[in-house]
Amino acid sequence: MEVNQDILIQFIKGELSASEYQAVNKQIKSDKALFRQYIQLKDIWDYTASKSNALKYNEGKEWDTLAAKIPFASTRTLKFKRIVGAIAVAASIVIAFLIGHVYESMQSGNAMVAGSHVFKAPFGQVSNITLADGSKVMLNEGSTLTVPLDFGINNRNVALNGEGYFDVSTNKDLEFSVTSGKQKVKVLGTIFNIRAYEHENKMITTLEEGIVRWEMEARHITLKPGMQVIYDNQLGDVEEKTVDITEVKQWALGRYMYEDASLDEIIAVIERWHNVKVKWNPADFKGVHFNGVLKRSATIDETFELIKVMVPMKYTVKGQIVTIERMR
């Protein structure tokens, strides 16, 4: 079966037969270009469905109108609409340091510790922070950012545990640095993403714009836009590669895009997003991988129902405990 745009739309709308669905699903999983087109179309469909408000609008007309406005080669307009919605439900923290005074819109879990402000994004939420120098940081759920009281005066040093998307204001006289464990990233003004949760085995630094210097003890690497450095905490190995930054920062838009992802990687995100504990046997899912998009706005049931499309499993939810089992 040749999979074109019309077939993908039927696939998304659930209008294919079981055999056709399986055939299209197989091609989407094996063809990266087709997978990207599917993601773009799915985003348009999801946005249309939410805007239509229980089918009060003409479904076909809404689809055609929105699709005409958003070329498939670029999803910038759609991303703007999505990030507005994501920020509306996120925990928003705005910090302005004004000549010796501090104004804070505090979120539970934030604190002042040993001459520093510690800001935390609660599980299931994203926090937006504006620092004294105008730099902006978006913290992913379960992440903390430690900022010294003299930030912007004597230094621009912060410490990150978790994941943060940084848009650093330019200051040629005062370097901006982010420390995560033994890793340090130094910049003058740029946009980059760091993922460094304490419980995860890898620390990942990705540069979107500008130049950053990555340091780990005696080793250092200069990153250019589109470059990513992955440090393995257990083995001490360092990997450099080129990536699509738009995929890396999808969490800031309220979703994660997965291509051939292991289930343990997905479960770690679900536990943070929904503040739940997933009980499962990793050995039962060895070799199982997932392709698709998980969204922060989805309920826990909607999330696992989506995973079930590609992963043979069953699940039960009892309070904050989710139990999953492999179906054979």
What's the pLDDT score for residue 281?
94
For residue range 235-245, list pLDDT tens digits in order. Answer: 999 999 999 88
Enter the tokens of residue 207. Answer: 């540069």
Q: How far is CA 82 from CA 11, 21, 54, 87, 169, in A?
A: 23, 28, 19, 9, 25
- The secondary structure of residue 181, as a DSSP letter, is T
pLDDT (0 to 100) of residue 172? 87
Interatomic CA distance for residues 143 and 252, integer angstroms: 13
CATH architecture of 254-326: 3-Layer(bab) Sandwich (3.55)
Segment 64-77 mean pLDDT: 40
The residue among 198, 230, 191 whose CA lies nearest residue 214 is: 230
CATH 2.40.30.260 fits 89-248, yes or no: no
Determine phi and psi for 120, rounding to 5 degrees.
Answer: -130, 135
Query: Would you state the pLDDT for residue 110?
Result: 62
Q: What percentage of the chain carries pLDDT values higher than 90?
A: 42
Instruction: Dump pLDDT digits (tens) for 2-32.
Output: 888 888 888 887 888 888 888 888 888 788 7
Q: Which of 301, 295, 294, 303 lies closest to 318, judged by CA? A: 301
Query: Residue range 130-137: average pLDDT?
Result: 92
* Contact (CB, 8 A) for 131 and 148: no
Please tell me which residue, 281 or 250, carries the higher pLDDT value: 281
For residue 96, the model assigns a pLDDT of 28
How many CB atoms are closer than 10 A to CB 156?
A: 25
Q: For residue 72, what pLDDT is reported?
A: 41
Per-residue model confidence (pLDDT) at position 230: 96
Q: 3-class DSSP state for residue 140?
A: coil
The reply to whether 89-248 and 254-326 are identical in fold is no
pLDDT in tens, 174-208: 999 999 999 999 998 899 999 999 988 999 999 99
| Cα distance between residue 179 and residue 260, in whole Å | 30
| pLDDT at residue number 153 | 85
Give the residue carrying structure tokens 């348009």: 44
Percent of the chain surpassing pLDDT 70: 77
Interval 115-129: pLDDT, tens: 789 999 998 888 999
Token pair 């540069």 in the structure block, residue: 207
Q: Which residue matches tokens 């209008």?
A: 15
- pLDDT of 308 > 60? The answer is yes
Q: Per-residue pLDDT tens for 82-101? A: 333 333 333 333 322 322 22
* 122 and 106 Cβ atoms separated by less than 8 Å: no
Domain parsing of the chain, residue ranges: 5-74, 89-248, 254-326
DSSP strand pairing (176-180 vs 156-167): parallel
Please give the Cα distance from 72 to 45 (Å, whole number): 13
Mean pLDDT, residues 221-237 taken together = 94
Name which of 109, 194, 187, 179 is nearest 147 in CA terms.
179
- Of 282, 206, 285, give the one whose Cα is nearest residue 249: 206
Considering only CA atoms, which of 225, 154, 214, 222 is closest in space to residue 186?
A: 214
- Tell me if the pTM is above 0.85: no
Is residue 162 very low, low, confident or very high in pLDDT (cuts 50, 70, 90)? Answer: very high
